[in-house]
Amino acid sequence: MYVPPAFRDDDRASLHATMRAARLATLVTSTAEGLLATPVPLLLDPAEGEHGVLYGHVARANPQWSRVPIGEAMAIFMGPDAYVTPAWYATKQATGKVVPTWNYVAVHAYGPLEFFEDADRLLDVVTRLTDLYERPRAEPWAVTDAPADFIRAQLRGIVGLRMPIARIEGKRKMSQNRSLEDRMGVAAGLESSERAADQAVATLIPGVPSARLREEG
């Protein structure tokens, strides 16, 4: 991923927060048959290794697990993103020398990929993933709510994956290369959008107070 210095995110806590918030990642491997990619929820265990370890599973019918990866695998995590129109820049009024762009948050994690079929390991991964996403619910569903023999049968239809993160790249492109006036214009424009993703990006523009504080000011 191309990451200019102004947009680089090297903070471990920030990178892990983006990965957790993304919920669904894209797992990419290079094989002798070409590139393969699968959208998949991944569990981050930050306690393992220098950068953490990713766990998940794919369908047994998915050919990605049976094709030997060439080199490292890559997991792509996307955060909030939004189109930025030049009309929001103060510079447009001054010189007109502006063009559209896109603001976004992204994390790319790389590492060796291991697939496994052991039923106990699969059950552990499925249970941890389920608990993670059920936890916020008022009445969380648990794997143990289903009959044990049914769950064991379901496990035969999936293959687990483990990817120790060997290196990680983070990018937060949030108009850091623009003046404060331009960034304030971008934030105001995004805040007025009806899209939740646009509003989320507005809160990430650095150095710009919230709409409420700007009004009070």
Domain membership flag for residue 190? no
**Residue 64's domain spans which residues?**
5-83+101-177
**H-helix segments, the chain:** 12-22, 90-94, 119-134, 148-155, 180-191, 196-202, 211-216
Over the stretch 97-124, which tens digit does the pLDDT of each residue have?
A: 889 999 999 999 999 999 999 999 999 9
Residue 55 lies in a domain: yes
Percent of the chain with pLDDT over 90: 90
- The whole-number pLDDT of residue 210 equals 62
Residue at 200 is within a domain: no
The tens digit of pLDDT for each residue in 72-100 reads 999 999 999 999 999 999 988 888 888 99
* 122 within some domain: yes
Cα(98)–Cα(190) distance, integer angstroms:
17
Model confidence pLDDT, tens digit, residues 18-65: 999 998 999 999 999 999 999 999 999 999 988 999 999 999 999 999
**pLDDT number for residue 213:** 43
Question: Is the pLDDT at 157 greater than 50, yes or no?
Answer: yes
Q: What is the pLDDT at residue 165?
A: 98
Is 61 inside any structural domain? yes
Say if residue 214's pLDDT is above 50.
Answer: no
Given this model, what pLDDT does residue 93 score? 83
Q: State percent of the chain over pLDDT 70.
A: 96
In this structure, is residue 193 part of a structural domain?
A: no
Is 172 among the domain residues? yes
Query: At residue 62, what are phi and psi to the nearest 5 degrees?
Result: -75, 120
Domain annotation covers residue 57: yes
Q: How many domains does the chain have?
A: 1
Q: Where residue 150 sits, what CATH number does that domain have?
A: 2.30.110.10
**Please, what is the average pLDDT of the chain?**
94
